[in-house]
Amino acid sequence: MGGSMFIQNTGNNQHDCIASQSRPAESPAYIVLVTSIYMYLDKIDLKCASDASAVYKAAVKYCMPHLCEVSAKYMVRDMNFDSLWPVLQLASEIQEPVLKEECGKFVRKNPLLVLRHANFLNVDQNVVNMIVELDCLDVPEVEIVTAIEKWAEQQCINASYSPDRDNKRSVIGADILSKLRFLAVSHEEFVKGPAFSTTKEKGLLTLEESYAILMNITVPGSYPMPDGFSNESRARKLAKLRCVRKVQVPVPPAGFAPGGFTTPPPPMMCSPFTNTMDRVVALASPSQSATLGGKNFSLDIKVDHPIVLYGIQVPTLWFPVAAGPKPLMKEYDESFIVTVLDASGTPISHTVFAGKIAYGSVVDINLKESIILQKNASYKVQVYTSNTYFLSKKLSTVEDYPPVKFTFKDTAKV
């Protein structure tokens, strides 16, 4: 949605924009005017994210779904640090999934800049809670804790309260505090930053809480964690890795030896597998070992730790199959259409790759837009090809790349 175009001022479109007049932002009279113009003339005038946010609320109130869609598209179009904040506020209030996801994408791409931005100090508690719920933030946890403390301090000042430890804790609340991962902070960072300080205005933790957390950072489980604190020690920082699926090689059944079985064969020939880095190749036609293939491939994937998916790698044809001059060619034409679907079957990414590729190699296909794969959620990667491919070997269904465990399931249609 973030890359979709909004209303274009072509002169022929019934949704043409009209010229904006000077008016107070989010004025009730202005909102009534905008919604009335839309209802009677099917036109809309939006000049900033704050306008779009107010119009969205009005559209929800008056049950105008298309106006909701138009204002939502405006809010996420070309999102930047000026337009982010009213959209964040709206997403935290109404929990609209598309807005929430688009805001999450922006925060994940710019976590440090968001946390250190001057506007962050003035957001409300719902926005802060929405940010600390994110499991993929490529920023040290100590930066998150520091930003939350500064935000709480500013909230105290705005309310004319003393920004001491108790008042800051009261502003933060138990829900946000429980989502801060103090155990993901290093010893040195913890002592220099979040730990107890004799200066009452500094820090969020008591002496007893600091001692318990430091003990668990040093030796996990060595001391009871205080009530209301997270036991999560994994950093939110993204692990940058390439998951290479190994090839499954059948293990001979028990009792089997060259020449036959030395003991009675089992009643059912099961197929246990072990992993090896043996190479998988793609053939143009099926064989006894290459039975999985076609032009329509589907991969179900699940992870136990959130990741950002940037692309996939696919094998090319092992060698030309036609007679004549074609076998002398080193490349062939191919088109890959890659679609990623979420658990509900809704497409969330669509990428087309077309060009000449080399025989007997692999192709890295970068997704048009990177995707967050949430933990324990099922996703499907569909790949359509212009040529027919049959894989020479089966690939593993489980791969461990700490801190991520991948689970896969392959299907294909001719």
How many Å apart are CA 280 and CA 294, to the nearest integer? 16
Q: Is 129 inside any structural domain?
A: no
pLDDT for 169: 95
pTM: predicted TM-score of the whole model, two decimal places: 0.62
Question: Is the domain of 260 the same as that of 305?
Answer: yes
pLDDT along the chain (414 residues), means of 10: 27 31 44 49 64 76 73 80 88 81 86 95 95 88 96 96 94 96 94 84 88 96 96 81 80 51 41 45 75 86 88 87 60 94 89 93 89 88 93 88 90 80
Q: Is 371 inside any structural domain?
A: yes
Q: Is 119 inside any structural domain?
A: no
Question: Is the domain of 314 the same as that of 217?
Answer: no
Q: Is 259 inside any structural domain?
A: yes
Question: Is the domain of 259 the same as that of 391?
Answer: yes
Question: Is the domain of 150 the same as that of 276?
Answer: no
Number of structural domains (the chain) is 3
Q: Is 128 inside any structural domain?
A: no
Question: Is the domain of 251 the same as that of 326?
Answer: yes
Question: Is the domain of 251 the same as that of 201?
Answer: no
pLDDT for 268: 35
Q: Is 131 inside any structural domain?
A: no
Question: Is the domain of 204 the same as that of 346?
Answer: no
Last residue of a domain, one of 182, 205, 238: 238
pLDDT for 256: 47
Range of the domain at 386: 247-413
pLDDT for 10: 30
pLDDT for 63: 73
Q: Is 404 inside any structural domain?
A: yes
pLDDT for 283: 82
Question: Is the domain of 287 the same as that of 405?
Answer: yes
Question: Is the domain of 220 the same as that of 273?
Answer: no
Last residue of a domain, one of 203, 238, 273: 238
pLDDT for 305: 83
Question: Is the domain of 253 the same as that of 352?
Answer: yes
Q: Is 125 inside any structural domain?
A: no
pLDDT for 34: 53
Last residue of a domain, one of 59, 90, 109: 109
Task: Please report, for the domain that includes residue 298, its CATH number.
Answer: 2.60.120
Question: Is the domain of 26 the same as that of 165?
Answer: no
Among 258, 244, 191, which Cα is nearest to 395's? 244
Question: Is the domain of 199 the same as that of 260?
Answer: no
